[in-house]
Amino acid sequence: MHLSSSVPADTAASGTGVYGTSPSLAVTEELESAPPRARVPSLPPRPRGRRIATRVVLSLAVAAGFGWLLHRGGLPVIPPRSAFEHVRWWTVGAYFLSLFVVHWFRAWRWDYLLRPVARVPTRKIIAIAWIGFFAIMMLPFRMGEVVRPALLRRDGKVTGSAAMGTIAAERVLDGLFVALLLAATMVFIPRLPLEHVREFGIPVGNVVRMAYLTVGVFTSALAVLAVFLAARQWAERTTLRVVGMVSPALAARLSRMVGGLADGLRSLPDPRLMGPFLLQTGVYWSVNALGMALLGWGCGLPMTPAQGFAVMGVLAMGILLPSGPGLFGTFQLSVFLALRLYFPSESVHHEGVAYVFLLYLAQFVFTTVMGVVPLWVEHINPREALEE
């Protein structure tokens, strides 16, 4: 399914038209009128490999901390064999297959955010997105979020800042969509009494309050993006004037980056782009939640589809926090807390242990395979992709 873009090709290429004004003319005028400034010496950059190594070490420390917390709470990372006695193994295979649908729609919908900037072949969108999802899972502290923009800008059709703008729009829309779903489940789905209930030293009732809080957070984030898009010219000129007091060249570069970010947001006010994007987003998250509910039932938990949406929502919010490599720690903790909303401690500590292990293993293996395959097919060197 491909819809024609509402922005003409020449408009999309230049960044002008109904969505905004190109910063190039303003940049030129400001630079020509700017007084000469002495070049400000810059400090030598820290070696990139050292920065990455530092973050990896820190993330491993975070993972170790989560491992200790889970062990202290009596929830093993690797369950005993007895936890799998009642698993319906066909549901594991069915859930694994459902992840293909989830990954496909999660990647394909990116096309509608990119169309005001450039037309990118579907195969390339899918390949880069799957590599990006793999990077988000494997790299520490969500460093993988920059992989998609870095890979997309290599052919010169899309700037890194414009690509990053589309990622920002996707993150905020995803967050708001899931936050609304999660808040709805907190309102309409009956829960166990949660007063004085604690897991890992955390009051489980706080999960409910956090669900409502995230709606406000992502609503505010969407409003910020809307204001930024509407005030694009002001943001560019302010950047030129303020930073230009120190370095006109740096000001011009930052102004172009601000304009590029605004370019990446130009799909937001266009219903012909937002309609298909939100439809595919709904399919992506719904299949994800139903697959999680099926796997929960297959592991012996009496999980309903509605509870599957709740568990998915808590997990989606939880993995936004810093975690170890492979999203280890926040993944397990989030699912355990979500299960405790609806199931007694005995079930969580038995069937729930198997569920969390199989859920994590399936997602980890699938995301890894779907990330490595396009690296090989598209002949992308992982080290070069990371250095981008």
Q: In whole angstroms, give the CA distance from residue 365 to residue 74.
A: 25
To the nearest 10 degrees (0 to 180), the angle between helices 205-230 and 248-264 is 120
Nearest Cα neighbor of 185 from 292, 288, 311 is 311
Q: How far apart (Å, rounded) are the C-alpha atoms in residues 169 and 221? A: 9
Q: Give the pLDDT confidence score for residue 315 in this predicted structure.
A: 95
Instruction: For the chain, give the mean pLDDT.
Output: 82
> What is the average pLDDT across 295-309?
96
* pLDDT score recorded for residue 1: 44
Pairwise pLDDT comparison (41 vs 359), residue with the higher score:
359
What is the reported pLDDT for 53? 67
Q: What is the pLDDT of residue 358?
A: 97
pLDDT of 383: 66
**Whether pTM exceeds 0.75:** yes
Per-residue pLDDT averaged across 152-157, rounded?
79
Count of residues in the chain: 388
Task: Write down the pLDDT at residue 381.
Answer: 72
83-102 residue pLDDT tens: 898 899 999 999 999 999 99
| Residue 10 predicted with pLDDT over 70 | no
Going from the C-alpha of 339 to that of each of 86, 98, 125, 315, the distances in angstroms are: 18, 21, 35, 10
- What pLDDT was estimated at residue 2? 43
Question: What's the rounded mean pLDDT across residues 283-304?
Answer: 97
Cβ atoms of 284 and 103 within 8 Å: the answer is no
Q: What is the pLDDT of residue 316?
A: 94
| 156-167 mean pLDDT | 85
Percent of the chain with pLDDT over 70: 81
DSSP string, 351-373: HHHHHHHHHHHHHHHHHHHHHHH
pLDDT band at 9 (very low <50, low <70, confident <90, very high): very low
Residues with Cβ within 8 Å of 70's Cβ and at least 6 positions away in sequence, in order, are 76, 77, 200, 329, 332, 333, 336
User: What mean pLDDT comes out for the span 12-21?
Assistant: 40
Which residue would you say has higher pLDDT here, 76 or 306?
Answer: 306
- Give the pLDDT confidence of 211-270 residue by residue, as tens digits: 999 999 999 999 988 888 888 888 878 888 888 888 888 778 777 777 777 888 889 999
Residue with the two structure tokens 């010219």: 233
7: phi > 0 → left, psi -120 to 50 → alpha, else beta; which? beta
Query: What phi and psi values does residue 199 have, to the nearest 5 degrees?
Result: -130, 130
Rounded CA-CA distance 137/281 in Å is 20
Phi, psi (degrees; rounded to nearest 5) at 202? -105, 125
* Confidence at residue 230, expressed as pLDDT on a 0 to 100 scale: 86
Please, what is the Cα angle at 252 between 249 and 255, to 5 degrees?
150
Confidence label for 386 from pLDDT (cuts 50, 70 and 90) = low
Nearest CA among 156, 198, 174, 216 for reference residue 320 = 174
Question: 83-86 — which CB contacts under 8 Å span 24+ positions?
Answer: 83/350, 83/351, 83/353, 83/354, 83/357, 84/354, 86/299, 86/300, 86/351
What average pLDDT does the segment 121-136 reach?
93
Residues near 13 by beta carbon (within 8 Å), at least 6 away in sequence: 118
Q: Helix or strand or coil: residue 195?
A: coil
**The pLDDT of residue 258:** 76
